[in-house]
Each structure stands twice: as C-alpha cells, then as structure tokens.
Amino acid sequence: MKSSWQKSFFITYLLLLGLCIGAEIAVGMLAAPVIFYPDSFLGAGVLSHFQSGILMTQVFLKFNVLLMLCMFLAAIYEIYLYKINKYDFVSAVILFIALLGSMAFVLYFTPYIVEAQTAGAQATATTEFRSMHGWSEIVMKAVLLSQVTLFFRRVWLVLK
C-alpha cells in the first residue's frame, strides 16, 4: 500500500493535470470565441480581428506558464515513478507527446505569432501566418488529447 505522502503526491499530480486540461478548454473553447467575435456582444466595429488576436495572445502568454509548469511537474512525477519501479511505458509515451507538443506551442508557435503581430496586421493576414496558426491549434488539440489520455491512464492504473 502507498504511504500517505505518495497518495498526496498522486492526487496533486492529477489535480494539476486536471487544472491544465480545464485551462486549455477554458482558453480555447470559452475565451477564444468571445474574444474573436466581440461583435455579437458589443456591436460591430469595436475590435478588429487583429486586435482580438493581440488580446488572445496575451491570454495564451499567461496560459503558457501554467502549461509548462504542469508538464514539468508531470515529467518529474513520471521520473519518480520510474525510480520506484512503478514505470508505465504507455504513460511515458503519452507524456512525451504532451511535453513535446507543449514545448512546440510555447517555444515555437507562440513566439512566431507574437513576432507576426509585432510586425502589424498585414503580417497576420498572410497564408503563412494562417498556416502556422492552424498548426498551432492542431498541436494544442493534440496536447489536450494526450493530457486527458494520461489523466485517465493514471487513474485506470491505480484502480485496476
């Protein structure tokens, strides 16, 4: 049987993973539609699509800190499990996918988007920008899916 601190560590791990999943859903599914389509709430002409993008980027810059913190702590937890011989290969692969996607989003896609926004509205109207933005959305969805899978995999392993 696990000690009480091991149980606490596990519960904290799941809580942080769940918090990150919830934040991704809140940012992507709740905040983004409101920020990008303010006309339906405030009337036409309040914010341009470019201005909405700048606001959304600020939300993602703050979210990126939480995302990397959660992924860093998840990696520490999985390393700890490896050290105490509770290693699960499937969980490690899923975490690797989530970690790699998170790093790509935070270190590659976000700086690209910020740089394009700094260059002005014309830079964000290009095919290249739309492609990069589309790929960033796909990567973020893959991160979310892998985190949800990891969450349920870890719960399933404890309950079986």
Tell me the CA end-to-end span of the chain in Å, nearest whole number: 14
What's residue 87's pLDDT?
Answer: 86
What's residue 6's pLDDT?
Answer: 83
What's residue 12's pLDDT?
Answer: 92
63-96 pLDDT, tens digit each = 999 999 999 999 999 999 999 988 899 999 999 9
Q: Are 98 and 154 in contact (CB under 8 A)?
A: no
CA 99-103-104 angle, 5° bins:
115
Domain residue spans of the chain: 4-159
Model-level pTM?
Answer: 0.91
CA distance 68 to 5: 24
What's residue 83's pLDDT?
Answer: 92
CA distance 36 to 39: 9
Q: Are 121 and 50 in contact (CB under 8 A)?
A: yes
| Region 112-124 average pLDDT | 94
5 to each of 11, 21, 55, 137, how far by Cα in Å?
10, 24, 41, 37
Strands (E) in the chain, as ranges, are none
Neighbours of 48 (CB within 10 A): 11
What's residue 42's pLDDT?
Answer: 84
29-40 pLDDT, tens digit each = 999 999 998 888
136-151 pLDDT, tens digit each = 999 999 999 999 999 9
